[in-house]
Amino acid sequence: MMQLHISPSMRSITISSSKVGAARHISYRTLFHTILILAFLLPFVFILTALVTLEGANKCSSIDCLGRRLGPRLLGRVDDSERLARDFYKILNEVSTRDIPDGLKLPDSFHHLVSDTKNNRYDAKTFALVLRAMMEKFERDIRETKFAELTNKHFAASSIPKGIHCLSLRLTDEYSSNAHARRQLPSPERLPRLSDNARHHFILSTDNILAASVVVSSAVRSSSKPEKIVFHVITDKKTYAGMHSWFALNSVSPAIVEVRGVHQFDWLTRENVPVLEAVESHNGLMNYYHGSHVAGANLSETTPRRFASKLQSRSPKYISLLNHLRIYIPELFPNLDKVVFLDDDVVVQRDLAPLWDVDLGGKVNGAVETCRGEDERVMSKRLRNYFNFSHPHIAKHLDPEECAWAYGMNVFDLKAWRKTNIRETYHFWLRENLKSNLTMWKLGTLPPALIAFKGHVHIIDSSWHMLGLGYQSQTNVESIRRAAVIHYNGQSKPWLEIGFEHLRPFWTKYVNYSNDFIKNCHILE
């Protein structure tokens, strides 16, 4: 039991207990000084406590936790975690400039790194050096994997799927054995409509029967007046029989389809089409498109995106006459005044009849420009994206900031075209590029067309033609639904395994899966 005794002189206070010798004497002076010090410190303690509470202070709820937080602050010390972070950052900076020793054994994973650090008692610098070496190795592996993926994708895009090859073979066989597959297209009484300018004429140049069927079917089904549609399908000699069989056996009436092979156009001679001679005789051209696509490429000095672009520019289709054929449309169809040209990797989703009413203002080519739009990756193409402006001939004649336009859905005024020298300009620049060993541009038929049609292009509304579905997986689906024509330009064609799954249904909805040839060839099974 404790007792409090005040001295008679009032100078001291004695605190005692029942235990012997347990009395303590405290002077008034000591007590006064103690109270004075507490009165001075308590406001600061209150303020620090409030700050810790407002900051969360690791949600301290005990006196012990609060003491651990307040102690270093009262003594002017910094939190150990902050000091450790500064020290480690300093070590990382030092290690970043050091050479990684040859033969340094690197862990395969973070788990192994922790284990090695514990077993080998790494100091901080050794740990940081090993960590840096691991990161650099992983970056190299990822980069090499990306380049390998792009190369494999290029070869996949350049190949013919077995289903499509099967379709062509079976239809070719049908042409030789089935008289109905050989029937005249169109029927004799409809032949005059092939040159009737009151109708809507489409030009399609392709050797892909399945793709052609989708383009024609989608255009007819989207039309409000399909009876006015005339399709002129041009293919090569080896595909002609199969292409003819498909449209002879699968009528799109009331629309009209004619199928012609390039060998059936008397005008397509070497004298009129220098591309033919160039393709057959230019060794450099054949080696560029059919040689090794990776040999000599310095992958350490390029980016995956640039590498992908170079691979795409070396697709063999760019030296195919079918790809260059659009520049000869006025001569191939001398009786037509206005046509719409479609690539074989498009789908028509809206009636295109209004395109024949578009006033091109005396221009030859109605096209969508590709230098501005919501999709920055697709709609950011200017001439600098297609030409080598370090070449003096290019720098002299072209403006790198000039807007490019799209090939693949074009309205052509053939009457106006025949009054120009567009074809001659196209041939001239093709020859110049061959002379310069393909150093002016690398990518197919669009670059020479951008030059040849210069001053002859009328820009039409972008809603008519949406591009990029073959290389932009992030394409806005709502924008796709609104577009009149969607274009799977790029490597990821919808009929290939590498096509984007969420974009493919816009194309497959026009594939006739009930057709026996489609079923027997397991098309996109």
d(CA 81, CA 86) in angstroms, rounded, equals 9
Position with higher pLDDT, 508 vs 89 = 508
Token pair 């989703």: residue: 349
pLDDT at 294 over 60: no
What pLDDT score does 524 carry? Answer: 75
Same domain, 116 and 212: no
List phi, psi (to 5°) of 215. -60, -50
Average pLDDT over residues 104-126: 78
Q: pLDDT category, 316, cuts 50, 70, 90?
A: low
pLDDT at 199 over 60: yes
- Output the furthest CA–CA distance in the chain (Å, rounded): 141
Same domain, 265 and 402: yes
The DSSP 8-state label assigned to residue 318 in this structure reads: G
Q: How far is CA 467 from CA 345, 378, 406, in A?
A: 10, 7, 8
Q: pLDDT category, 15, cuts 50, 70, 90?
A: low
pLDDT at 17 over 60: no
pLDDT at 384 over 90: yes
Same domain, 415 and 503: yes
d(CA 346, CA 336) in angstroms, rounded, equals 23
The whole domain housing 135 covers 89-98+106-154
What pLDDT score does 29 carry? Answer: 64
CA atoms within 13 A on the CB side of 43: 4
Token pair 């974009």: residue: 503
Average pLDDT over residues 23-50: 62
Q: pLDDT category, 362, cuts 50, 70, 90?
A: very high
Considering the domain boundaries, does residue 17 fall inside one?
no
What kind and span of H or E run contains 177? helix 162-177
Short-list 511, 519, 468, CA closest to 489: 468
Considering the domain boundaries, does residue 365 fall inside one?
yes
d(CA 168, CA 164) in angstroms, rounded, equals 6
Q: How far is CA 281 from CA 35, 39, 269, 287, 522, in A?
A: 107, 102, 15, 11, 39
Average pLDDT over residues 16-32: 59
Considering the domain boundaries, does residue 79 fall inside one?
no
What pLDDT score does 233 carry? Answer: 98
pLDDT at 217 over 80: yes
Average pLDDT over residues 403-430: 96
Considering the domain boundaries, does residue 308 fall inside one?
yes
What kind and span of H or E run contains 230? strand 229-235
Residue 144: both structure tokens together: 């090499």
pLDDT at 318 over 70: no
What pLDDT score does 148 carry? Answer: 73
Same domain, 142 and 182: no
In sequence order, the β-bridge partners of residue 258 are 232
pLDDT tens-digit series, residues 418-429 = 999 999 999 999
Residue 276: both structure tokens together: 């033919």
d(CA 116, CA 128) in angstroms, rounded, equals 13
Total domains in the chain come to: 2
Same domain, 171 and 118: no
Average pLDDT over residues 471-477: 90
pLDDT at 114 over 50: yes
Considering the domain boundaries, does residue 33 fall inside one?
no
Same domain, 291 and 406: yes
pLDDT above 70 as % of the chain: 76
pTM for the full model? Answer: 0.75
Short-list 310, 289, 287, CA closest to 298: 310
pLDDT at 174 over 70: yes
What pLDDT score does 342 carry? Answer: 98
pLDDT at 50 over 60: no
pLDDT at 310 over 80: no
CATH of the domain at 322: 3.90.550.10
Q: pLDDT category, 99, cuts 50, 70, 90?
A: confident
pLDDT above 90 as % of the chain: 52
Range from 136-140, 334-338, 469-473 that averages highest in pLDDT: 334-338
Q: pLDDT category, 57, cuts 50, 70, 90?
A: very low
What pLDDT score does 493 carry? Answer: 94
* Average pLDDT in the chain: 83
d(CA 192, CA 273) in angstroms, rounded, equals 28
pLDDT at 293 over 90: no
Position with higher pLDDT, 79 vs 113 = 113
Considering the domain boundaries, does residue 27 fall inside one?
no
Same domain, 129 and 239: no
Residue-wise burial string across 274-287, b where 16 or more C-beta atoms lie within 10 A, e elsewhere = bbbebbeeeeebee
Of 136-145, 158-167, 403-412, 505-514, minimum mean pLDDT range: 136-145
In sequence order, the β-bridge partners of residue 3 are 16
Question: CA triplet 211, 410, 363: central angle to 5 degrees?
Answer: 165
What 3-state DSSP class applies to 433?
A: helix
The count of other CB atoms within 10 Å of the CB of residue 422 is 22
Short-list 216, 277, 206, CA closest to 239: 206
Same domain, 466 and 444: yes
Same domain, 283 and 390: yes
Same domain, 123 and 272: no
In sequence order, the β-bridge partners of residue 202 are 231, 340
CA dihedral 79, 84, 85, 86 (to 10 degrees): 90
What pLDDT score does 273 carry? Answer: 85
Short-list 317, 325, 319, 315, CA closest to 282: 319
What pLDDT score does 202 carry? Answer: 98
What pLDDT score does 274 carry? Answer: 77
Same domain, 138 and 268: no
End of a domain among 115, 133, 154? 154
Dihedral of alpha carbons 172, 176, 181, 187, sign: positive
Same domain, 118 and 176: no
Of 10-24, 104-118, 412-426, 474-488, minimum mean pLDDT range: 10-24
**Per the omega criterion (within 30 degrees of 0), is the bond before 254 cis?**
yes
d(CA 73, CA 78) in angstroms, rounded, equals 7
Range from 12-21, 113-122, 265-274, 315-324 that averages highest in pLDDT: 265-274
Considering the domain boundaries, does residue 25 fall inside one?
no
Residue 397: both structure tokens together: 């004649």
Considering the domain boundaries, does residue 29 fall inside one?
no
Short-list 508, 410, 509, 406, CA closest to 467: 406
